[in-house]
Amino acid sequence: MEVDSHCISETRFSFPGQTGFYRGKVREVYTIGNRLVMVATDRISAFDHILPRPIPWKGQVLNLLAAHFLKATSDVVPNWLEAVPHPNVSIGKACTPFPIEMVIRGYLTGHAWRIYRDGGRVLCGQELPEGMKEHDRFPEPIITPATKAESGHDEDITPEEIIRRGLATEEEYLELETYTRALYRMGTDMASERGLILVDTKYEFGRHDGEILLIDEVHTPDSSRYFYQDGYEALQAAGMPQQQLSKEFVREWLMAHGFQGLEGQVMPDMPDEFVEQVSMRYRALYELLTGATFPKTSDPDLPGTIEAAVVDWLSQ
């Protein structure tokens, strides 16, 4: 179908000097010496399940946005990225990841709201104020870490448990918190310049030669949630849903079709119209966040082009 054109669901490359391969929910990671070649596919996940159809150009949106923000924040936090030889590919330093995600929330939205709605007032050791409504802003952003699961659902965890389980030392965790708050402040400022609110996001970090580096994606719609600034206050006052630029609308569509990733639930079919809508939303977010036109191109041999670009970069 035309809606499935220009999609890459998986890769099976064998690069010169390759020593390892890992397939994540969205990215495929090739280890070559002390470098990682990270290929962003067009797979999309929600509720820790990969959806049955890829989203055209989604991989390029995520990869190019991640590179955009990694470059912009490199003076604030050192990161792993060295090159982007193809719109779907990033190459950089191989790091030993911390098995946690540093989630930071400025608003009572998504997972935090669902906990709150059901009566919870503590999340990852953070006390949540009484009397809040969905999408209200927290007095100060809160950090709610999660374990990085190999499969299944990530789990909320407290800083004390992170340290007790040896997932990070106390000194390392404090550095991760400092980096997380600095990145969120900068991400908030950059979003505001584009008329957006960075609602919540997650960061991942790794160790490389004794240094903590920011790894993976940053401020993309897969790792972040955005509201439009214009109309936020009026919608909150009226108790109306906020306009979002994130993956939350995909989760909401799945929930409306009876799927939350729970045992016994069946993943619904994704009609062409919904796949195209998701693709359009991803491309719109790229243009809104960067101020640049998304480079929408057609490539009849996307895997071949990706492989050639990586091999050419490695040879140099």
| pLDDT per position as a tens digit, 293-311 | 998 888 889 999 999 999 9
Q: Are residue 104 and residue 203 in the same domain, yes or no?
A: yes
Contact 200, 226 (CB under 8 A): no
Q: Output the pTM of the full model.
A: 0.88
Does residue 137 share a domain with residue 86?
Answer: no
Whether 54 is covered by a domain: the verdict is yes
- Residue 248 in any domain: the answer is no
- Judge whether 112 lies within some domain: yes
Residue 32 lies in a domain: yes
- Tell me the CATH number at 77: 3.30.200.20
The band of 281, judged by pLDDT with boundaries at 50, 70 and 90, is: confident
Other beta carbons less than 10 A from residue 273's beta carbon: 9
159 and 66 within one domain? no
Question: Among 172, 193, 208, which residue terminates a domain?
Answer: 208
191 and 138 co-located in one domain? yes
Same domain? 83 vs 116: no
Q: Could you tell me if 278 and 310 lie in one domain?
A: yes
Residue 3 predicted with pLDDT over 70: no
Structure token digits, residue 244: 């979002």
- On the 0-12 / 13-18 / 19+ scale of CB atoms within 10 A, 52 is exposed
Instruction: Indicate the number of domains in the chain.
Output: 2
Same domain, 79 and 155: no
148-152, 205-209, 245-249, 261-265: segment of lowest average pLDDT: 148-152
Beta bridge partners of 79: 214
Report the pLDDT averaged over residues 66-91. Answer: 97
pLDDT digits (tens, 9 = 90+) for 132-160: 999 999 999 999 999 976 555 679 999 99
**Are 298 and 5 a contacting pair, CB within 8 Å?**
yes
Angle at 147 between CA 59 and CA 139, to 5 degrees: 90
What CATH code is carried by the domain that includes residue 154?
Answer: 3.30.470.20
228: in domain: no
End-of-domain residue from the set 160, 176, 208: 208
Q: Do residues 116 and 147 both lie within one domain?
A: yes
Residue 58 lies in a domain: yes
3-state SS class at 53: coil
Mean pLDDT of the chain: 93
Whether 253 is in a domain gets the answer no
Q: Which of 155, 188, 208 finishes a domain?
A: 208
Q: Residue 1 — pLDDT band, cuts 50, 70, 90? A: very low
Q: Half-sphere exposure of residue 308, counting CA atoms within 13 Å on the CB side?
A: 5
What's the pLDDT score for residue 245? 75
| Same domain as 107, residue 174 | yes
Q: Is residue 289 part of a domain?
A: yes
Question: 109 and 46 in one domain?
Answer: no
Range of the domain at 53: 11-96+271-315
Helix (H, G, I), strand (E, B) or coil at 261: coil
Q: Is 299 left (phi over 0), alpha (psi -120 to 50) or beta?
A: beta
User: Is residue 174 predicted with pLDDT exceeding 60?
Assistant: yes
Give the ranges where 166-298 is alpha helix by DSSP (H): 170-193, 232-238, 248-256, 272-290
Q: Are residues 144 and 180 in the same domain?
A: yes
Are residues 91 and 154 part of one domain? Answer: no
Selection from 118, 11, 5, 93 nearest residue 56 by Cα: 5
Q: How far apart are the first and last CA of the chain?
A: 38
